Every structure is written in C-alpha cells, then in structure tokens.
A and B are shown apart, each in its own frame.
Chain A
Amino acid sequence: MVAGGFGVGKTTLVGSVSEIVPLTTEAVMTEASVDVDDLSSTPNKVTTTVAMDFGRVSLDSDLILYLFGTPGQHRFWFMWDDLVRGAIGAIVLVDTRRLADAFASIDFFEDRGLPYVIALNCFDRVLHHRIDDVREALTVEPTVPIVTTDARDRDSTKETLITLVEHAMHQRMSRAV
C-alpha cells in the first residue's frame, strides 16, 4: 500500500508500474456504519464517499500484486485497516517540503507493525534535505530504509517496491529468530 499526504504523488506512483490505468473504488462512510433502516429514516444524514486508487502488477501467471493508494485524509483510517490486512508493507511517499504530512502515516504503520519504507519523492529531481536530516526529522528507526524516488518513473518505483519487500522479509526473519 502507498501512503502519504495529499497531493504527494501516490496515484502517480501507483500508475507508473500498474499494468492497468489506476482504478478508483469507493467506500460509503456513514456514521458508525449504521444500517440501511437507520439511514432511510433520516434522509438528511450526510453520506460521504471515500475514494481509493489502486493499480495491478502481474508478477507471474498466478501472482498478482495490487498497489493501493490510501485515502489521503487521515479521518478515513478505517479503510487503512482493511488495507493493512494481508499487505506486504507500505511505502510512505514524502514530499520533503512537507515532511509533517508523513507523521500520521508513519505512526499508523508503526502501531500496526506493518513494514514500511520512506520514499522521498523528488519533484524535478531536487532533494530539499539530506536523507540523514529527514530521518532525524521524522524520527524513524535506522533500520527503516529511506530511499529517493521519482513517482513518475517506472524503474524508480520498481526499485522502491523491491526495497520494501526486502525490508519486509528482513524484518520478518529478524523477528522470527
């Protein structure tokens, strides 16, 4: 799954490796998931839809990787739990000019124990901060990989995914021992 702040390039990243045009799915959010009867008796109740982009990469004849871009707004975290289940890991896409946008995502993955990597999206190939500074600013453990990426570039995204899977495997094995 791909997380990050609003407008940081999540959909672009998903689209750069996906073999399909990123699709959008929606979940209907009603307050505390009230059922239909309750809703219909209060027709003025606000129903909000949450959009979530995703792409697909066929790795093998029987192996398909799905990339899910998380809903940007953090109040839609109920959807994140759905995504975490069965996920290999997460890419937290970061715009170095807006580091603070990444805090909530990082906290979430730390809390759920989902392996994640930080990918600094280099808009126009400009890195605004040194990686060490970013690590310190985000206060992530030294074991968490921080990579630079260009969300528009397929190879770059591929490398980021490989880093993530390697990190996830490494984390799993070190915990199993």
Chain B
Amino acid sequence: MSTGRRPTSRRAEDDFSYRDLFEPEAAFGDAEFEHPGEQQDEPDRRLADMSERGWDEMSEPGLGEPPNRFDIDGFRARLFGGPSATLYGDPGIPAQSDWDSKEIPAVPAEPEPELELEIPDPAELAPHETGSLVRPYTKTGGRTRSDYDLAIEALVSTSDRGKHPDAAVRPEHRSICGLCLDTRSVAEVAAHLRLPLGVARVLIGDMAGMGLVSIHQSGMVVGDRPSIEFMERVLSGLRKL
C-alpha cells in the first residue's frame, strides 16, 4: 500500500523529470546548479501538487510508484478534468475532484439564479444573446417542449407576416425570420444560430404559433416511416444527381 509520502532520495529525480517535461528551458538551465530561490519555492509547489497526488493514489492503490507518474497524471487532471471532462469519455478522471473546487474559486452560486429569474422581460435578453453564461433554455423561458411536434428535418420558412420588419420582437425570432427567408430545416436553424436543437425547436414552435413562420412537415409519412411514393421520389432524385 503506497502512501502520499515518498523517499527523500527520489525527490531530486522526480523534480528534474517534472521540469524536463513541462518546463524544458528550466531543465537545461537549472539542472547543472540549483538556484537558492528555486529551493525555497519547492515546498509551495509540493503543497499545490499534494491534492492531485492524493487522488491519484486513491484510485490506483496497487500500482506502486513509477517515476513521474503522478506529475503526468496531475497534468492530465488539469487538462481533462473540470466540468467538460465527460466529453473526453475518460472515466479515469472524475469530472470534479476535490482539488478542483479548492484551488479554483468556484463561480459564485448566488447571482446566477437571480439572472435567470428575470426572464419575462425580453429586452433583458438582448445583451446576453451570444453569451454562453446564459443557460440555453433561458431563451425559451425554461420550456423544453414545444406545442408543435417538430421533426429536426421539418422545413421552416418565414411567412408573409414574418417578413414584415416589425413583426418579430424578440431578437431570436428576428434572426430566425431572417434566416428562414430561404426554406431551411429546424436543424439548420439551430446550427446557424448556434442554438441547441431543443431550444431552436421551442423557438420555432412559438413562432409558428404567432404566425411568423410556416412549417412544412413531410406530408408523405405513414406512421413513423416515409411512404413508398416518397421514397420513389427520393430514389429518382438521387439517380439524377
């Protein structure tokens, strides 16, 4: 069973490798003669690394101590850790380990809910339109479902009413009206406006309700599947390409 403490004789070797990996210039400059100031910094840096090491050792108690291993994993944890860790599909690094919340001051938790409670005034939304700080479904007032059952490939086009410059009040609605002057699918609207698909669906559903856009769902669907006639058209279309 390994512990957080290592033999003193090993430290010099580990420290050298650490710099060798991540501070190449230091490896060459400092390896020959140690600066006195460098030595004083040591305890601080070691302290900072402690929490990472502690975690690493808990996860792999049986593996012993290969040289450099902890430093490399600490680096990995910093690279791949944090809120988006799951994106890398690496189960080895927990999304939020202890060191993360201690070392990096967490985003103040209180102001955010207040921000989102001010949803009702659409004008408030304008300055935040592109900011990722606003949670996506703020734009829909928190709704995740639309009155319309919109397929992602459903085509959307701006209606005559929507073409009127004053018809759309909310900025998102205005963007969609502008975008759908050419007929586009729900998925395209989402991609162009950099909105999550679900948000685009709700917004477009709202706009259809207000008569700003028309929706053309594929009418040739039987149940969940396209009809034979529809597939025939697709086939002949493909052959003509």
Contact = CB atoms under 8 A, between A and B. Distances in A.
Nearest to B112: A43
Contact of B142 (A24, A35, A162): A35
B95 A46 contact: yes
B116 A172 contact: no
Contacts of B237: 59-60, 63, 65
B87 interface: yes
Interface size class of B (residues with CB under 8 A): 35 or more
Nearest to B241: A158
Nearest to A88: B226
B196 to A, nearest CB: 4
Contacts, number: 130
Interface in B185-203: 185, 187-188, 190-192, 194, 196-200
A46 to B, nearest CB: 5
Interface residues of A, number: 48
Interface stretch (A7-15, A49-57, A95-103, A116-124): A49-57
A139 interface: no
B188, B224, B238: most-surrounded residue (chain A CB, <10 A): B238
B116 to A, nearest CB: 5
Nearest to B222: A172
Nearest to A58: B237
Contacts of B196: 25-28, 49
Given A23-B192, A169-B232, A17 B96 contact: no
Interface of A: 17, 23-28, 33, 35-37, 39-41, 43-44, 46-49, 52, 54, 56-57, 59-60, 63-66, 68, 73, 82-88, 158, 161-162, 165-166, 168-169, 172-173
17 contacts: A17-B241, A25-B197, A27-B196, A47-B135, A48-B86, A54-B188, A59-B233, A63-B233, A64-B183, A64-B185, A65-B234, A66-B185, A85-B151, A86-B153, A88-B226, A166-B235, A169-B228
